[in-house]
Amino acid sequence: MSSTPFRLRFAPSPTGNLHIGGARTALFNWLLARHSGGQFVVRIEDTDLDRSKRVFEDAILHELRWLGLDWDEGPDVGGPHAPYRQTERLERYNEVIQRLLASGQAYRCTCTEERLTALRADQEAQKSGRRGYDGRCRDRDLGPDAGPHVIRLRVPDGDTVVEDLVKGNVRFSNGDIEDFVIARAGSADQVGMPMYNFVVTCDDVDMGITHVLRGDEHLINTPKQLLIYAAMGATPPRFGHMPLILALDGSKMSKRNGETSVGAYRELGIHPEAMMSYLARLGWSCGDQELFSVEELTSLFTTQGIGSSPSKWDMEKLVWVNSQWMRSLPADTMAARARGFFAARGWAEHPREAALIACLRERTRTLVELAEAARVFFGDDYPKDVAVMAATLPAAREILTGVVDLLSLQADWSEAALETAVHGWCEARGVKLGKVAQPVRVALCGQKVGPGLYQTLHVLGREVALARLGAAVSLVP
């Protein structure tokens, strides 16, 4: 690894939402760029015209920002290598392909789909010999007026070696790689839509990309891309192919067993800091540490820490990591994020927001759990059987009546003052606090367990707390 700043990129296809595998790829490339003091580029691979949608592009960029990633160049921020959408770079691709045709590194092929289908069927029937395109048009010297044609790269003899940052050297025999198509059929003076392996290579050359970290599934594409680099006379970036993320049972990830979009985890109340920490540990190690700040990750991350074995997605572990961030994030950050979950339930901002967050953050693991636990503190949106529950508790009427009388005279509604008052009341009557706390909590919240009694009273506020206690007293036999 050089001390020279690196240039890395994340190049998603806007054909769907950002999923966890793509998020990890983006994170690892971003971390390596920031660790080296280099640049991180976002580039949109939208040549799949039927499936690519701008709404997906916007969603992907939104989720990357939510995760905490920023970029130095991209479709929304510009940069010296613009444009950053492939559909806006077609003239550049045509220019490079024309150069490859002129140098003999690529050639036109007029073989029809019917002929290629028959060729594949014959090769399958023979069950021996080389499979794939047979090079029929290799030496026919066809010109642009040859009729409908694709553009193929002329694959040389020998081997192609991928010097992988994760796997070490991986050797491919060029004899197993057919003269592959780099552009679909087009007009006489304009090639058709270029293929993935060509455009990604051309973009990486033009944008000066020095390192590419991506999933294992892309390794099969890498020898083809290295052949294109060689045909262009360009120096390829260093590649690192990361093992897949599997489901907890070792099967391939799917929506059924846990894979979902990053946005769905955000909606579940996962904090971006937790997602970043958890994703970083999926395939990268740094001792036994589980929680990392952004500063720690950018300082520690190198490709040497990327493992060669698949990682497993463990939702319970993610929730545990999130629970640790619930307790450690600044109060104003927690409050700002919780507001969105409160608003989604139709609740206005709470008058004692800071106290509300403080009493719930230690008891909940996600923002959704926090919002559900906060339900009893907003208006009358709490269990309606509160009085019935209170009535079932021993000596409920006597206790609740006494507490109402006590608190009706209480002017200072701080937690400390409430604790002093209730403790004094219990001591004066020789009653254990637990015998008092349970019916009071049930009357206030409709449940026997919950935040501390004095926290609950303080967060509800004097008016609401006394109203709920009074309502319970009136219904207790």
72-117 per-position pLDDT tens digit: 999 999 999 999 999 999 999 999 999 999 999 999 999 999 999 9
The pLDDT tens digits of the residues spanning 273-296 come to 999 999 999 999 888 888 999 999
Q: Is the pLDDT of residue 241 over 80?
A: yes
Q: With residue 123 as reference, give the H or E element that holds it.
A: helix 113-126
Q: What are 46-65's pLDDT values in tens digits?
A: 999 999 999 999 999 999 99
Active-site positions read 255
Supply the pLDDT for residue 331: 94
**Class level of CATH domain 382-475:** mainly alpha
In the block, tokens 């190198």 appear at 302
- Edge-first strand listing for the sheet containing 150-153: 106-109, 150-153, 181-183
Measured between alpha carbons, how far is 418 from 433 in angstroms, rounded to an integer? 13
Residue 139 DSSP class: T
Cα–Cα distances (Å) from 180 to 184, 206, 307, in that order, read 11, 22, 32
For the stretch 413-450, pLDDT in tens is 999 999 999 999 999 999 999 889 988 988 898 888 88
Residue type, 240: G
**Res 307 pLDDT > 60:** yes
Neighbours of 424 (CB within 10 A): 11
How far, CA to CA in Å, does 63 sit from each of 7, 67, 68, 251, 291?
Answer: 22, 6, 9, 26, 21
Q: What confidence score (pLDDT) does residue 389 get?
A: 64
Report the pLDDT value the prediction gives residue 131, as an integer from 0 to 100.
Answer: 77
The full set of domain ranges for the chain reads 89-242, 382-475
What is the per-residue pLDDT for 132?
86
Mean pLDDT in the chain?
Answer: 91
pLDDT tens for each residue of 203-232: 999 999 999 999 999 999 999 999 999 999
Which has more confidence, 147 or 241?
241
pLDDT at 1 over 50: no
- Look at the domain 89-242 and name its fold: Rossmann fold (3.40.50)
Q: Is the pLDDT at 178 greater than 80, yes or no?
A: yes
Measure Cα distances from 251 to 167, 214, 256 in Å.
22, 20, 11
Predicted pLDDT at 369:
97
Reported as a single tens digit per residue, the pLDDT across 353-363 is: 999 999 999 99
Per the rule left: phi > 0, alpha: psi between -120 and 50, beta: everything else, 215 is beta
Look at residue 128 in the predicted model and tell me its pLDDT.
66
Which pTM does this prediction carry? 0.91
